[in-house]
Amino acid sequence: MSFEYGGPVGGAPDWRSAYDRGDTVCVIGAGASGLVATKNLVEHGFGVDCYDRETSVGGIWNWRHDRSPVYATAHLISSRPATGFPDFPMPDSWPDYPHHSQVLAYLQRYADHFDLRRHIWFGTEVVRVRPVHGGRWEVTTRSTGGYTERTHRYAAVVVANGHHWYPHLPEIEGLDGYTGETVHASAVKDPTSLRGRRVLIVGAGNTGCDLAAEAAAQRAAACWLSTRRGYWYIPKYVFGRPVDQVNELVLAARLPLRVRQWLFHRILRLVVGDLRRFGLPRPDHRVYESHPIVNSQLIYQLGHGRVIPVADVARFGRTTVELVDGVSLEPDLVVFATGYLPRFEFLDPHLLAIDDAGRPHLPLHMFSPREPTLAVAGLLQPDSGLFPLVHWQTVAIARWLRVALSDPPAAAALQPRLAALAARRWHDARLRDSARHWFEVSHVRYLRGLQRLLDLLERAR
């Protein structure tokens, strides 16, 4: 290895030294996506340097990490068989829906089983990534315990920094002058802190509904759940089986979308009933057209009057919250369960074709449309467990990088086919155009897309 000098493509040289790491690939993040990316890159013959700002593996599943949104009582909403990596299943002795501490233990075992820790630089934050001449990448890192910066040069970069750590806070009239306490859901680490409080939860996604049910269980003095529109609330069990396993049986029958929607509408009418009975608004879409709410406790708490559904927030007063239907509330805690936004602050936005709203536009939700040796892992919101999809994502990334680095003309010939995938929809239904659905995919349709890509890469070898 040697020191080299250089600058950005087409720009003036930068005379800072950069330690050349040869054909090594840089992976950013040691959460689930970063771990499986490291593992699959190593198995495909690459050297890997993985950087993580924290001091241990796990990403958001390590709830002690500053950026983790996980709270004390959180469990998976996808079942165990649908969540584990294909080559490292979760133990059969575990419950259908493991606790977050079990998920962390699983990722730690995964890292140890595949000897991944030796590739990871903990306590090291990536502060800048930029392309330089020769199709290579300069990655500047900084120790989180100090101010030391180092720059290394890599053959490729895989970004796996997650998209559930940067809170999305809404802009609502009067919020700046409100004197009550407000927090984002990511700050609610222990639901016992809701005990005895008058809590308003804004946002009826999976996190908002979980926290509403927890507030009720913790004997909050009052709990209001504010939602803009109606959703489908799906129990974790249907016919005694985890609901995603029942869905797999339906998908295996290869029924048309409309038939599957009709079937699930009837099932939900039987096991949940008319949601308007509980004061919830009627869903304004069909099943599969929005990310469902998977929760067995919310309807129970609504039926017992422990959670009160209310309309969307119109504005904040000094001590009150006014709803769009004219109702005024006086909570002492407002929790914004309003989701998260992706952030890639170390990258120039044009490299990921990020639009004004902050949404990246990537073929298969993972490849840079401008740089063949830049990829993103885990930028998905599937209708199943995420880990199996990221496993096959990173297999495809590793094989793509092998072609791109060893046979650039072959990669260039494949680039138009890859670019065409950027326009593909990876979901059966027409989804709503909102940040909540930016990365929504049907796992069956998406896996078929990955298989087509892997077939192309196999023919290019």
The pLDDT, as a whole number, for residue 5 is 33
Choice among 44-48, 80-84, 381-385, 419-423 with the minimum mean pLDDT: 419-423
pLDDT greater than 80 at residue 16: no
Give the Cα separation of 327 and 199 in Å (integer).
16
Question: 150 CB contacts (<8 Å, ≥6 apart)?
Answer: 19, 140, 141, 142
Per-residue confidence band for 250, with pLDDT thresholds at 50, 70 and 90: confident
461, exposed or middle or buried, with CB in 10 Å at 0-12, 13-18, 19+? exposed
* Torsion 424-426-431-433 (CA) sign: negative
Q: Cβ distance 231 to 256 under 8 Å?
A: no
pLDDT greater than 70 at residue 8: no
DSSP letter for each residue of 150-201: EEEEESEEEE---SSSSB-----TTGGG--SEEEEGGG---GGGGTT-EEEE
pLDDT greater than 70 at residue 7: no
Q: Kindly state the average pLDDT of the residues 373-383.
A: 94
- Return the higher-pLDDT residue of 199 and 456: 199
* DSSP category for residue 393: H
Residue type, 278: F
Choice among 119-128, 317-326, 435-444 with the minimum mean pLDDT: 435-444
- CA nearest neighbour of 72 among 218, 192, 217, 202: 192
The pLDDT, as a whole number, for residue 427 is 66
Give the Cα separation of 369 and 374 in Å (integer).
9
Number of Cβ within a 10 Å radius of residue 245: 17
Q: Kindly state the average pLDDT of the residues 328-341.
A: 96
Q: Which fold has domain 175-336?
A: FAD/NAD(P)-binding domain (3.50.50)
Helix or strand (DSSP H, E) at 16: strand 14-20
Q: Kindly state the average pLDDT of the residues 120-142.
A: 95
DSSP letter for each residue of 17-48: EEEE-TT-EEEE--SHHHHHHHHHHHHTT--E
pLDDT greater than 70 at residue 212: yes
Per-residue confidence band for 430, with pLDDT thresholds at 50, 70 and 90: low
User: What would the two tokens of residue 375 be?
Assistant: 């990829």
pLDDT greater than 80 at residue 152: yes
Global pTM value: 0.91
CA atoms within 13 A on the CB side of 174: 14
The pLDDT, as a whole number, for residue 309 is 97
Give pLDDT tens digits for 41-86.
999 999 999 999 999 999 999 998 889 999 999 999 999 999 999 9
The pLDDT, as a whole number, for residue 6 is 37
Q: Cβ distance 236 to 209 under 8 Å?
A: no
Per-residue confidence band for 415, with pLDDT thresholds at 50, 70 and 90: confident
Residues forming CATH 3.50.50.60 domain(s) in the chain: 3-166+341-460, 175-336
Q: Which homologous superfamily is 3-166+341-460 in?
A: FAD/NAD(P)-binding domain (3.50.50.60)
The pLDDT, as a whole number, for residue 1 is 33
Per-residue confidence band for 435, with pLDDT thresholds at 50, 70 and 90: low
- CA nearest neighbour of 223 among 206, 209, 205: 209
Per-residue confidence band for 214, with pLDDT thresholds at 50, 70 and 90: very high
Give the Cα separation of 437 and 439 in Å (integer).
6
Cα 343 to the chain's mean position, in Å? 11
The pLDDT, as a whole number, for residue 12 is 37
pLDDT greater than 70 at residue 13: no
pLDDT greater than 90 at residue 182: yes
What is the chain's mean pLDDT, rounded? 90
The owner of tokens 């999305």 is: 168
Give the Cα separation of 231 and 275 in Å (integer).
9
